[in-house]
Structure 1
Amino acid sequence: MARFEGVYVALVTPFTETYEVDYKRLHELCNWLVENGVHGLVPSGSLGEYATFTREERAKIIDTVVEAAAGRVPVMVGTAAPSTKQAVEWVEYSKDAGAEGVMALPPINYNPLENEVIAHYEALNRVGLPIIAYNNPRDYPTDLTPDLLSKLSKFKNIVGVKEFTGDIRRVHDILDQTNLEVMIGVDDLALEGPLMGATGWISGVPNALPKEGVELFNLGREGKVKEAMEMYRNLLPLMHYDANPQLVQSIKYMMELAGQPAGPTRPPRLPLSDNYYAKIKKDYERAVGANS
């Protein structure tokens, strides 16, 4: 049985119009997502704009999400940082705060050697909190291949991988070559992933459409392709934005359309063009209209 099953939302971070973290809104958003059936919450990740946080902000965001979850669903904290020491400190902080696990990238600042990747995860492993390794070679220099993951899986606390390559064949290879659970990391494999054996989905668009995300993933896990297909095809244009560099602005706009505003993005992320937002709105209306 997988430790982190179901739909985990990679949380956006609500900001005020002056770019301050809106902790009250974050608490409300977490509560709304839990009430709408999501299985877990993931603060302090790329979609959450973690790289723009001060240390104090990041700590308070983690505390706020754990408090809002209130034991109803697990919290898995994103722990990416420029150095192994800093990443270890965030794993330690998350453990002390009451998180059930962490999502951990390999070294992010340069293209590390394999032994450096292994040493990085070994240090994180020693903290004693379950780890989902985050494989995102689209945006970071390291590809956690199935062969490398098989080596990392020897560490007791590395229990799974967030798989973000966008290649569904990776799910098969990881399950074949390792004992890790697989959590799909790109929204536009939200149906294919569970059909091929992924037990979790660390998701973006369900920030705005949690019920739809949970229903779709559950249909995939149950192998109900016919029931899922029309829903998935109507959601898919919206899901594609999650694998796009402008994912944060896009998903925050979807949330505005869903009546769950989360404020602006922090620079260097700036507002998108009117035409871009118009396309998102069209895709959102298709998804919501088809599934209402």
Structure 2
Amino acid sequence: MITGSLVALITPMTNNGDVDSVKLQELIEFHLQAGTHGIVAVGTTGESATLDYEEHANVIRQVVECVAGRVPVIAGTGANSTHEAIDLTKRAKDAGADACLLVTPYYNKPTQEGLYQHFKAIADAVDIPQILYNVPGRTACDMSNETSLRLASIKNIVGIKDATGDLARGKALIEAAPADFAVYSGDDPTAIDLILLGAKGNISVTANVAPAKASKAAALALEGKAAEAKAVDASLLGLHKNLFLESNPIPVKWACAQLGLCEEGIRLPLTLFANTFHNQVIDAMKQAEVIA
């Protein structure tokens, strides 16, 4: 079972919007040296929505090759087309990913039965561990706990990223889930609390900027050391909040650029981070002690 701080990795781009393969490799080494427990490639934070099909598959391949088995790689392969999600998942398996992360279909708003059939079809088609991803604030599609638990009975559906931020709902899911089905937080502000309730880790935006502290907080929480985990996490609270002053990944890419990890490149319809908010993110980075 994959556990700990799993960075929802940005996809570095040059200032003209091209994927920057050199910076991608440097970024992976930065995370491995900082103690990040796993890499999530081409999820929401990795701009999956604006990478074309070949770029999407190539970034997954590059991440797998660069990581070279040192930590697990989870590939974002979700889509609102079941056919497309199956194909991307096949390509991630062929590239050597350890698992896939599959977001609920966005925009077309399937029923709960439609969600079940969608994820079942992908699981039946591709023999790789699969993690469901529920983030209704972005998809306009909310998968119920009941549907998640129904899917948990499928052999290669091994977990869920719960980005609802609803701790009561997350606790209920953890308590009802089979022992071999992992619940991960996808909400940085509540992640440590959810891990202390039994979640297996956090798929984190904040970890892009403060990977060492994010991994330490997650590890302490997994050990049940609540006070110590929360003390580490307290220094990250500003990042948890201010990295969402504009739509993710706009602020986090800017923050990473300030650390020299990448250029500020991002693709339309996302735009460069507004000057109005720069000082708030800088203050949060100082609080996290990633800059002086």
State the TM-score bracket (shorter-chain normalisation).
over 0.9
In the TM superposition, what is the alpha-carbon distance from 1:188 to its structure 2 partner? Answer: 0.9
Query: Could you tell me the TM-score, scaled by structure 1's length?
Result: 0.94
Q: Determine whether 1:168 maps to 2:167.
A: yes
Determine the C-alpha separation between the residues in 2 that align with 1:238 and 1:113: 35
Residue in structure 1 matched with residue 22 of structure 2 by the alignment: 24
Residue in structure 2 matched with residue 118 of structure 1 by the alignment: 116
Alpha-carbon distance change, 33 to 78 in structure 1, aligned in 2, over 3 angstroms: same
Gaps of 5+ in 1: none
Q: Contact (CA 8 Å) 2:250, 2:266: kept in 1 or not?
A: yes
Q: Contact (CA 8 Å) 1:17, 1:263: kept in 2 or not?
A: yes
Between 1:224-233 and 1:41-50, the stretch displaced more is: 224-233
SS in 1 for 2:270: coil
Identity fraction in percent: 32
Residue in structure 2 matched with residue 99 of structure 1 by the alignment: 97
In the TM superposition, what is the alpha-carbon distance from 1:214 to its structure 2 partner? Answer: 0.5
Q: Contact (CA 8 Å) 1:209, 1:258: kept in 2 or not?
A: no
SS in 1 for 2:237: helix
Q: Determine whether 1:147 maps to 2:128.
A: no
Q: Deviations over 1:140-172 (max 9, x none)?
A: 122222111111112111110001001111221
In the TM superposition, what is the alpha-carbon distance from 1:82 to its structure 2 partner? Answer: 3.2
Q: Determine whether 1:197 maps to 2:206.
A: no
Determine the C-alpha separation between the residues in 2 that align with 1:13 and 1:250: 13
Alpha-carbon distance change, 271 to 263 in structure 1, aligned in 2, over 3 angstroms: closer
Residue in structure 1 matched with residue 128 of structure 2 by the alignment: 129
SS in 1 for 2:265: coil
In the TM superposition, what is the alpha-carbon distance from 1:250 to its structure 2 partner? Answer: 1.1
Q: Contact (CA 8 Å) 2:165, 2:187: kept in 1 or not?
A: yes
In the TM superposition, what is the alpha-carbon distance from 1:253 to its structure 2 partner? Answer: 2.0
Gaps of 5+ in 2: none
Equivalent AA in structure 1 for residue 152 of structure 2: S
Q: Contact (CA 8 Å) 2:130, 2:156: kept in 1 or not?
A: yes
Between 1:150-159 and 1:140-149, the stretch displaced more is: 140-149
Q: Determine whether 1:263 maps to 2:264.
A: yes
Query: Could you tell me the TM-score, scaled by structure 2's length?
Result: 0.94
Q: Deviations over 1:11-46 (max 9, x none)?
A: 101111111110111111112211211111111111
Residue in structure 2 matched with residue 249 of structure 1 by the alignment: 250
In the TM superposition, what is the alpha-carbon distance from 1:282 to its structure 2 partner? Answer: 1.1
Between 1:208-217 and 1:136-145, the stretch displaced more is: 136-145
The number of residue pairs the alignment matches comes to 289
Q: Contact (CA 8 Å) 2:171, 2:197: kept in 1 or not?
A: yes
Q: Trace 1:168-247 onto structure 2 (pairs within 5 A).
A: 168-179=167-178, 180-242=181-243, 245-247=246-248
In the TM superposition, what is the alpha-carbon distance from 1:275 to its structure 2 partner? Answer: 2.1
Q: Deviations over 1:95-119 (max 9, x none)?
A: 1110010000122231111221111
Alpha-carbon distance change, 279 to 243 in structure 1, aligned in 2, over 3 angstroms: closer
Determine the C-alpha separation between the residues in 2 that align with 1:119 and 1:245: 34
In the TM superposition, what is the alpha-carbon distance from 1:258 to its structure 2 partner? Answer: 2.8
Determine the C-alpha separation between the residues in 2 that align with 1:83 and 1:150: 22
Determine the C-alpha separation between the residues in 1 that align with 2:140 and 2:5: 27
Residue in structure 1 matched with residue 73 of structure 2 by the alignment: 75
Q: Deviations over 1:41-97 (max 9, x none)?
A: 111111111111112211210110001110111111111223100000011001111
Determine the C-alpha separation between the residues in 1 that align with 2:279 and 2:22: 29
Question: Considering only aligned residues, what root-mean-square deviation do their CA atoms show, in Å?
Answer: 1.7
Q: Contact (CA 8 Å) 1:208, 1:260: kept in 2 or not?
A: no
Alpha-carbon distance change, 244 to 198 in structure 1, aligned in 2, over 3 angstroms: farther
SS in 1 for 2:161: strand
Equivalent AA in structure 2 for residue 198 of structure 1: A
Q: Contact (CA 8 Å) 2:213, 2:233: kept in 1 or not?
A: no
Residue in structure 2 matched with residue 8 of structure 1 by the alignment: 6
In the TM superposition, what is the alpha-carbon distance from 1:124 to its structure 2 partner? Answer: 0.9
Which residue among 77, 83, 86 is the counterpart of 1:85? Answer: 83
SS in 2 for 1:50: coil
SS in 2 for 1:191: helix
Q: Contact (CA 8 Å) 1:199, 1:221: kept in 2 or not?
A: yes
Q: Contact (CA 8 Å) 2:4, 2:222: kept in 1 or not?
A: no
In the TM superposition, what is the alpha-carbon distance from 1:247 to its structure 2 partner? Answer: 2.3
In the TM superposition, what is the alpha-carbon distance from 1:272 to its structure 2 partner? Answer: 2.5
